[in-house]
Amino acid sequence: MLGLMQQWPLLCHKIIDHAAAQHSRREIVSRSIEGPIVRTTYEQVRERSLRVAARLAAEGFERGDRIATLAWNGARHIEAWYGIMGMGGVYHTLNPRLFPDQIAWIMNHAEDKALFVDLTFLPIVAKIAPLVKSLKKIVVLTDAAHMPAGAPAGAVPYEEWLAEAATGFEWLAMDENEACGMCYTSGTTGDPKGVVYSHRSNVLHAMMAALPDAMGVSSRDVILPVVPMFHANAWGLAQSAPMVGAKLVMPGGKMDGASIYELLDTEKVTFTAAVPTVWLMLLQYLEETGKKLPYLKKVVIGGSACPRAMTKKFQENYDVEVIHAWGMTEMSPLGSLGTQKPETMHLTGEAKLDMQEKQGFAPFGVEMKVTDDDNRELPHDGKTFGRLKVRGPAVAASYYGGAGQEQFDAEGWFDTGDVAHIDENGNMQITDRAKDVIKSGGEWISTITLENLAVGHPDIAEAAAIGIRHPKWDERPLIVAVAKPGKSPTRESLIAFMDGKIAKWWMPDDVVFVSEIPHTATGKIQKTTLREQFKDYRLPTE
């Protein structure tokens, strides 16, 4: 017997339709690339998205065509997204922090046919456009007055291009399982891999993200997605915010502490999200100026492990709740969030911080387990760690073009490449990437634990732990650290700070101070580069 409900496909343009119908005057505030703060509304964004769709269709772009974006967070970028999806196209976010040759490789692999680009990135486009044979159209997200003389041949200014669109366009009717978005993994090992999102997966992910025990956003929130739209869907916020009708504040290309604080303060932001490196800059700015965060209630921190000291500062110094999150491009991207269950609500002080170091529990729509190397499921005891595997309606079933099939099994489980354990309350904690874990004397040492502990030292700005070859123990830990400005920590002071907080055999064998630690294009510590840099390093214990 079948249910007698209407067939109402889960299509992404229904999100912007809903925002315009129920929250028509709610603002989207953007720091424009040209300079000024620009204000628009959901109603206006929907109307302009329809014009984007009409213009693309009129120029012969078809259902399934990949349309790339190379842009910061702003209203025009959102308009392009919803317009691309609404005419049956597939938005493809490009990461400008990659090398031009990498971007060109990704565009050729995806066979991108058009590109929406911010002014900032025109020098990159000048290098890659001749290399992408499928590229037919370049639209620069500006107006004619700001169009530079050196723009690529044939490029058109967005505002004038949009003004020529026919009115009366209607969203394309399509199956909810059709592709609507594409994002490539950072490719830290091997070539980048394409993840293809469907309308259904994006809508379900937006619902999951907005749940009270996930990000917990509502129409009463003012949301600042500092995490870029080219980082795994801006963690779903470009879809969750209009779905609930929250005001959006888009930071453009200015990510420094002063610029982020300005938006947090002037727009009375209540909710924000970004990787730890952004919050290091904001906290440093707050400490230097003595300013507070009177409106901010909640910050989601993910992308890499959130240092305990960062959580403590936000909560104790600024009364801002920290939600430690984990996810992957392959998961749209949310996998778990560190909100509190009733079983842990009584925790305070250091015990609460212990809990918040974990990445939290999976929302509805994510199944999660840890296994050993023989695929045997391991107990949820908060101690036994193994390979973290996930599945769900917003989790990739394969990569574009069929690469990386070894990460997907016959039962639909995706091997994340992370090493983790899960406690009796379902809270998961990443202990390492499988390729980064330090194996000493046949036992695993968590580099993330060592890094978080090292960053807790008052004079350390950032730290990375890597394994150095050892004749007896196979590998031993080396801490590579960056001192805070004006501070001069020593190896001995850091070792003493860590002593007693971890098992003796986990203690690093040495500490090296550097001016900076290399990062990937997505802001993660580049362990491969560090391991190459220190491949001939001899530990004092050797």
Question: H or E segment at 467?
Answer: strand 460-470
pLDDT, residue 97, reads 85
Mean pLDDT of 26-37: 97
pLDDT at 237 over 60: yes
Q: Is the pLDDT of residue 153 over 70?
A: yes
CA-to-CA dists, residue 521 to 223, 282, 345, angstroms: 24, 20, 37
Is 453 in a helix, a strand, or coil? helix
What are the start and end residues of each CATH 2.30.38.10 domain in the chain?
Answer: 367-433
pLDDT in the model for residue 304:
79
pLDDT digits 0-9 by tens, 205-220: 999 999 999 999 999 9
Whole-number pLDDT of residue 232: 87
CATH number of 25-253: 3.40.50.12780
Judge whether 429 and 359 are in contact, CB under 8 Å.
yes
Angle between helices 237-244 and 199-210 (to 10 degrees): 70
State the pLDDT at residue 31. 98
Measured between alpha carbons, how far is 80 from 51 in angstroms, rounded to an integer?
10
The Cα–Cα gap between 65 and 59 comes to: 12
- Residue 470 · residue 476 · CB < 8 Å: yes
Query: CA–CA separation, 541 vs 56, rounded Å?
Result: 64
CB 529 within 8 A of CB 188: no
Residues 6+ apart with CB under 8 A from 133: 108
Q: Which pLDDT does position 486 carry in this prediction? A: 94
State whether residue 430 is helix, strand or coil.
strand
Closest C-alpha among 165, 168, 142 to residue 51: 165
pLDDT at 51: 98
Which residues of the chain form CATH 3.30.300.30?
Answer: 438-533
Q: pLDDT digit string (tens) for 493-534? A: 999 999 988 878 889 999 999 999 998 776 778 888 999 999
* 395-398 contact pairs (CB < 8 A, 24+): 395/330, 395/331, 395/332, 395/366, 396/195, 396/196, 396/330, 396/331
Find the helix or strand (DSSP H, E) in which 200 lies: helix 199-210
Q: Identify the CATH class of 367-433.
A: mainly beta
CATH 3.40.50.12780 residue ranges for the chain: 25-253
For residue 72, report the phi and psi dihedrals to the nearest 5 degrees. -80, 175
* pLDDT over 60 (residue 21): yes
Q: Which residue has the tokens 């354990």?
A: 421
Pairing status of strand 414-422 against strand 247-250: unpaired
At 524 the pLDDT is: 78
Query: Mean pLDDT throughout 329-337?
Result: 97
Query: pLDDT tens digits for 80-92?
Result: 999 999 999 999 9
Element housing 51 (H / E): helix 42-58
Task: Return phi, psi of residue 120, to 5°.
Answer: -50, -35
**Which CATH number describes the domain made up of 438-533?**
3.30.300.30
Number of H helices, E strands in the chain: 15, 24
| Mean pLDDT, residues 532-539 | 92
**What is the pLDDT of the chain when averaged over all its residues?**
94
- The DSSP 8-state label assigned to residue 171 in this structure reads P
Q: How confident is the model at residue 190 (pLDDT cuts 50, 70, 90)?
A: low
Cβ–Cβ under 8 Å, residues 35 and 78: no
| Contact by Cβ (8 Å): 41, 27 | yes
Least confident of 149-158, 182-191, 331-340, 387-396: 182-191
Mean pLDDT of 273-297: 95
Would you list the DSSP string of 86-130?
HTT-EEEE--TTS-HHHHHHHHHHHT--EEEE-GGGHHHHHHHGG
For residue range 417-437, list pLDDT tens digits in order. Answer: 999 999 999 999 998 877 787
81 exposure class (CB count in 10 Å sphere: 0-12, 13-18, 19+): buried
pLDDT above 50 (res 188): no
> What is the rounded average pLDDT of the residues 300-312?
90
The proportion of the chain whose per-residue pLDDT surpasses 90, expressed as a percent, equals 83
Give the Cβ contact number of residue 437 at 10 Å. 19
Q: What per-residue confidence (pLDDT) applies to 189?
A: 52
Band (pLDDT 50/70/90 cuts) for residue 187 is low
> What are residue 424's phi and psi, to 5 degrees?
-65, -20
In the chain, % of residues over pLDDT 70: 98
- As annotated, the active-site residues are 185, 330, 439, 444
Q: How far is the C-alpha of 428 from the C-alpha of 108, rounded, in Å? A: 37
Mean pLDDT of 273-298: 95
Residue 130 has pLDDT above 50, yes or no: yes
Has residue 444 got a pLDDT over 90? no
